[in-house]
Amino acid sequence: MSDPAQEKTLAEQAPARYECKSCGYVYEPDKGDSKSEIPSGTLFEDLPTDWHCPVCGVRKAQFRNIGSTGAPSGFQENLNYGLGVNRLTPGQKNILIFGSLAVAFLLFLSLYGLH
Ligand SMILES: [Zn+2]
């Protein structure tokens, strides 16, 4: 089986969860619904039309999209941002350190030369 997840963004990989407006039960695609023999990884959209809330029994229409768990969302951008900063910082540090050292050295030389 190929891995189509690699072609998706992280946000798309995290499937949306749906909350029962009647009782507050949350359908999590990662867990599925063992009571209705829904295997884990089944998207809410892919549930059979006659699926109903395992807690209170209302139909799919009574569920609302509450989004994914959110943890992976934007993580890759943050990671790239962090790496970008980490790549730039040593160079900037070196410029600052050696720049100030050179200036101090030149000042020292000029002061020393005056005496
Ligand atoms: Zn319910």
pLDDT in tens, 23-64: 999 999 999 999 999 999 999 999 999 999 999 999 999 999
Listed range (44-53, 58-67, 82-91, 98-107) with the worst mean pLDDT: 82-91
Residue 4: inside a domain: no
Q: Is 109 helix (H, G, I), strand (E, B) or coil?
A: helix
Question: 100 and 60 in one domain?
Answer: no
Report how far ligand 1's centroid is from the alpha carbon of 43 (Å). 17
Same-domain check for residues 58 and 90: no
Q: Please tell me whether residues 59 and 81 are part of one structural domain.
A: no
30 and 62 inside one domain = yes
Distance CA 40, CA 63 (A): 18
Q: What is the DSSP letter of 67?
A: E
Q: Is residue 81 part of a domain?
A: yes
Ligand 1 centroid from CA 39, angstroms: 19
What confidence score (pLDDT) does residue 80 get? Answer: 52
The model's pTM is: 0.51
What is the distance in A from the centroid of ligand 1 to the CA of 23? Answer: 4
Question: What pLDDT shows up at residue 72?
Answer: 46
| Residue 61, domain member (yes or no) | yes
Sorted by sequence, the CB contacts under 8 Å of residue 94 that are 6+ apart come out as none
Task: Tell me if 51 sits within 8 A of 36, measured CB to CB.
Answer: yes
Residue scoring higher pLDDT (19 or 7): 19
Q: Quote the domain boundaries for residue 93.
A: 74-115
